[in-house]
Structure 1
């Protein structure tokens, strides 16, 4: 049996007045997702418990079949794993976004999608001014970077009660009441404040302003946590897996559960990603793995920008270049199952992640067809196939 999982990140949404009362998923032309729904089952899963943050970290951990109440320790440690960074038991990892804050308002949680090369220069300046044996600023991809606190020589002031706010939750909102709080928050707030001074006259920002681009005004620290102790997917579910993604969070999850990671040229983690290349690489991987998982960040990014048209386009590209070709390849090779499901809702209206159920559709060997012939939130809400604990869905997909 071969298995395929396609994750259109953040695709779950609300009815839009501008779309005639349809959600972007319902409004999009997705014949291949609908074919899966018609041949199999439509359902829903709640991947994020109410008491945990509605982020991709918790949601994807749950989607891959791991109880977040047991395994979630924070987002940044997952991204550290993606970069092969070893965390000692005393270490803490912290997400370090480059952002644009003006007049105490989050104008851009990506600093205008700053380039990785520009980000590396800014992180180098932070390391020279603020880093040392305890603090290590680690460049990542674009605005997504890390800060490591090495706690062997000096215990960290943080705890599980340290609270931070994801910057993408603050788009076009005041940040005044959302700085870190709890144990160690003074240190985090001080580092964020110091970065303003360091970035103010940096050559990278001077060039960006001259080119009409938003500057990276400071870092925003969030997603703090210690290393998680995840069991391998092979040990838990008895299958091997491979992950295709352009996002460090998913790379890190794959590394921690023992999945191989496939790097696809042209995969950007944004709406300009090479969808066709992702589909091709997924098909090519089928002979060498039990499960191929394709994660696409584009619908989520479109939601964060409040762009329903871009979200629809991303879903149609996923359907055309990934879902369709991969499903056809699976049918030709023998027994299979295919699953399409996002991790969490990201409504265009709010521009941020939210709690709540997401729609899923499964078809393939041993999957009985239900009465639903289209894949969307409305049909998912009617279905009897429902997982209040989203992490239980994986066992159903693999073994039911």
Structure 2
């Protein structure tokens, strides 16, 4: 039997007046997910443990079956795993966004956490120039994808910098940055780096993008996860545009499949992801397919595009996979990692709706798949990291 685990990042949300009281999930056209919900188990899972921030790092680690309270060290270390960086145990790895602020002062605001969704071919030379000018025995700038990069602080895990709690920039869009600047100021070296980078980014000969500041956050020691196959007994792969998911895959010994044209946005290469999943499943058991689009639209506060992103997930991922595997013995898990409500423009800790569909699954009795129908079944897994094991048991893979 093949198990497909399909994730629409940030798909969940709250009712909106502009949608007549519907959520974006309820407003989207999702006939395939609705049909799988009608014939499968539907419920909710608490992917973000109490006391942890509702990030994709925490939530996707839980979806893959690993307890974040045990294994999570920070967002930066997960993305470092995706790049195969050789790190010392006491290195501190920061996620580094290229951002747009109104001004880098205590009366400044976070204008754009992604610098206008800067492209990788524009951002990479900028990060390389920052490394050339500011990299030293303490700090190393590592290029990533689009606005998502890394800053390695050698030996930093043994310093007070490891405890600085900077807000993720997508959490403070159009909000003041003064509280974070005060936290940065607790580290003289990091404070100097922030303003030296600002000076370089202001140089139009070096940087022609919207990025006018770096934003280090999500720091932690290098990541270590149990081996996925040894834990769950399946040969698995992850397919995603973002380093976060790839890092979880690499750290747990899974195959990591790159898809050309996968952007993490609404225009991603859906067909390429589907083809890659089908090719892997010819000789293997499990694939985790992750779509970032709904989350990005939620952060942007764009209701129309988020509805469209969810509809495309159903039409361009769920539908073709169902059609290609209609004569195969397969099982499905479909969910999101967290909510990204339009009104909040960031993640929340709401339990996420899920579908489990496969042999041995008794239908929950819902007609559609949404936040409200998942709640109506009364099924809730308080430990979200148990969702995968729960599904494996229900579909008879154990």
Worse-matched range after superposition: 341-350 or 273-282: 273-282
Q: Where in structure 1 do 4 or more consecutive aligned residues deviate above 6 Å?
A: none
Task: Give distance in 2, aligned partners of 1:60 and 1:155.
Answer: 24
Structure 1: how far apart are the matches of 2:55 and 2:185?
A: 22
- Give yes or no for contact 1:300–1:346 (8 Å, CA) kept in 2: yes
Matched-pair contact (CA < 8 Å) for 1:149–1:156: no
Question: Is 1:147 aligned to residue 147 of structure 2?
Answer: no
Residue of structure 2 equivalent to 1:63: 63
The DSSP-based 3-state class of the residue aligned with 1:177 is helix
Residues in 1 aligned to 2:19 and 2:292: alpha-carbon distance in whole angstroms = 22
Query: Shift of residue 229 of structure 1?
Result: 2.1
Give CA deviations for 1:21-61 in whole Å, capped at 9, x if unaligned: 00000110100000110111110011112311110000100
Q: Which residue of 1 aligns with 2:142?
A: 138
2:348 counterpart of 1:354: yes
1:237 Cα offset (Å): 1.2
Unaligned runs of 5+ in 1: 209-214
Which residue pairs with 1:115 in the alignment? Answer: 119
3-state SS of 1:271 partner: coil
Which segment drifts farther, 182-191 or 288-297? 182-191
Q: State the partner residue of 2:337.
A: 343
Listed one character per residue, the Cα deviations across residues 157-211 of structure 1 (whole Å, up to 9, x for unaligned) are 2465321110000111111112373896443333222211111113253x44xxx
Partner of 2:76: 76
**Alpha-carbon spacing, 1:174–1:155, altered in 2? closer, same or farther (3 Å):** closer
Q: What SS does structure 2 have at the residue aligned with 1:222? A: strand
Secondary structure of 1:292's counterpart equals strand
CA contact (8 A) 2:11 2:340 kept: yes
Q: 1:86 to 1:270 in 2, by over 3 A?
A: same
129-138 or 2-11: bigger deviation: 129-138
Q: What is the distance in 2 between the residues matched to 1:51 and 1:144?
A: 25
Residue 383 of structure 1, CA deviation = 1.6
Q: Does structure 1 residue 392 correspond to structure 2 residue 386?
A: yes
After superposition, the CA RMSD in angstroms is 1.7
**2:247 aligned with 1:252, yes or no?**
yes
Are 2:40 and 1:40 equivalent residues in the alignment?
Answer: yes
- The 2-side partners of 1:257 and 1:264 are apart by 20
Q: Distance in 2 between matches of 1:310 and 1:202?
A: 33
Q: 1:34 to 1:157 in 2, by over 3 A?
A: same
Instruction: Output the TM-score relative to the length of structure 2.
Output: 0.94
| SS of equivalent to 2:163 | coil
Asked whether the 8 Å contact 2:42–2:355 carries over to 1, the reply is: yes
Partner Cα separation in structure 2 for residue 375 and residue 192 of structure 1 = 45
Say whether the 8 Å CA contact 2:157–2:221 is kept in structure 1: no
In the other structure, the counterpart of 2:87 is 87
| Counterpart check, 1:170 vs 2:172 | yes
* Distance in 2, Cα, partners of 1:227 & 1:242: 21
Q: Alignment partner of 1:317: what SS?
A: helix
Contact 2:184 2:190 in 1 (8 A): no
Partners of 2:186 and 2:88 lie apart in 1 by 19
Which segment is superposed worse, 239-248 or 156-165? 156-165
| 1:81-106 alpha-carbon deviations (Å, 9 max, x no partner) | 10111221111110110000014111
In the superposition, the TM-score normalised over structure 1's length comes to 0.94
**Which secondary structure does the structure 2 equivalent of 1:98 belong to?**
strand
CA distance in 1, matches of 2:161, 2:215: 19
Distance 1:280 1:186 in 2: 49
Match of 1:105 in 2: 109
How many pairs align? 390
Post-superposition offset of 1:250: 0.2
SS of the residue aligned with 1:99?
strand
1:128 aligns with 2:132: yes
The answer on whether the counterparts of 1:279 and 1:326 sit within 8 Å (CA) in structure 2 is: yes
CA distance in 1, matches of 2:150, 2:196: 16
Aligned-partner Cα distance in 1 for 2:331–2:188: 50
- Indicate if the aligned counterparts of 1:162 and 1:180 stay in contact, CA closer than 8 A: no
